[in-house]
Amino acid sequence: MNISVIGAGYVGLVTAAGLAELGHDVVCIDRDQVTVSAINNKTPLIHENGLSNILSRLVPKRLIATTDYKVITDTDLILICVGTPSKPDGSINLRYIKNAAIGLGSVLSSKKGYHVVATRSTIIPNTTKEVIIPIIERYAGNKVGFAYNPEFLQEGKAVQAFFNPQRLIIGELNKRAGNVLLKAFKDIPAAIFRTDLTTAEMIKYASNAFLATKISFINEIANICQRAGVDVYDVVKGLSFDYRIGGEFLNAGIGFGGSCLPKDVAALIYASMNHFGYRPELLRTVLDINEMQPSKMIDIAESKLGSLRNKTIAVLGLAFKPNTDDIRNAPAIGIIKLLLAKGAVVRAYDPQALDNAKRVFPQRVDFCSSAAEAIADSDCVLIATEWDEFKNISLYHGKMVIDGRRALEPSKAKSICDYQGVSW
């Protein structure tokens, strides 16, 4: 098939590369010339395991990038993969979705024959029906079919997840539109669920809200466990035998960050309250607990050291999770802001996210080139991301360590340092 993908960011480029690998001819359309040139030069701006390998083999044979929407006149299926960031009030910003709909609608107006537009971006239920379809039909009439196909890619494992998803959710305006999407993914082994557009949109939000809820749930249980003298990680082992509960996504610590879970829960809360007339108390509490967890590290540090003014605090890990350089909504960033507000001297290290963090803190943080360098001369070490290299306990001899991610095994760590877990 000939497929065009609008938006060559994280979701768009992984989707485009995956579809090209499946044998389709794919064009990526992005308004940013630097992004486009990087793809055409086989040096993508985002880092995902396996992505460069696909680009090096398939650009320009089956995958090219352009800024020009006109190429979609040669394709059978368009996938909208643009960002849907948050506005300051937490609501979803549909600016890029609307721009994409206008851009492709105006080109589709001159295209003959049937065409399917499917969205992969996370969008509030009813957005395809109330925003995307009206814009495109205004330009192109009713010769376009519509579908919604949410992605569930986790950063760091996105390429692998593209080829082995647990499910393929096809939200379709009608069977004809859904069939085109199914044809594009026909070689992907996954359970397939076909449903209407709005249900598919909601499945994406419910998935991320559930994952976020699991994390805040276990953090709440962890806080109770800690007071009861119980290790929450042993409790999770006991829980995991019950298949109804499972053991995944129950790692207690300083909570969830990243570009999806915090944003999507906030957008769902906003839409629920402002568009659907329902106040989602559970989801509000999920965010409240998540906001509280990182500051527990500071509370523990103060309880041990007294005032943090002029104390040297080493922060290990800046990315929102290991194996990425992404610091969006990373708990470590909020922790550093609090430390600076309290007058602490901050020494920080991350194996991949230093450059991004330097842009957030151009002056007041002392960025180090290794964990050992950050730890040396510190009064206290905070572990904010569980990178493998931080699991080497010999780094921490004689130090005060507060572990926000269960990077260290408590009994071993306690034998060589003053160790305290954030909720264990």
Active site amino acids: 260
CB–CB of 66/103 below 8 Å? no
* Cβ-proximal residue to ligand UDX, closest one: 260
Nearer Cβ to ligand UDX (25/386): 386
Q: Which residues pair with 117 in a beta bridge?
A: 78, 146
Output 124 or 144, the one with its CB closest to ligand UDX.
124
Structure tokens that stand for 108 in this block: 């589709």
Minimum Å gap between C-beta 321 and ligand UDX is: 4
Interface positions with ligand UDX (CB under 6 A): 151-155, 208, 211, 215, 249-251, 253, 255-258, 260-261, 320-321
Q: What's the CA gap between 201 and 62, in Å, rounded?
A: 30
The residue assigned the tokens 């800046």 is 318
- Taking the least distance from each CB to ligand UDX, the nearer of 140 and 357 is 357
Report yes or no: 24 and 1 within 8 Å, Cβ to Cβ.
yes
Sequence-distant (6+) residues with CB within 8 A of 31 are: 67, 99
Region of 82 on the Ramachandran plot (φ > 0 left; ψ -120 to 50 alpha; else beta)? beta
380, two tokens: 């206290």
Do the beta carbons of residue 101 and residue 136 sit within 8 Å?
Answer: yes
Minimum distance between the CB of residue 289 and ligand UDX, rounded to whole angstroms? 11
Tokens of 106: 């105006």
Tell me if 15 sits within 8 A of 38, measured CB to CB: no
Nearer to ligand UDX, 69 or 424 (CB): 424
**Looking at beta carbons only, is 106 or 352 nearer to ligand UDX?**
352
Least distance from C-beta 123 to ligand UDX, angstroms? 13
Shortest separation between residue 66's beta carbon and ligand UDX, angstroms: 26
Phi, psi for 132 (deg, rounded to 5): -70, -50
Kindly state the smallest distance separating residue 81's Cβ from ligand UDX, in Å.
12
Residue 258 DSSP one-character state = S
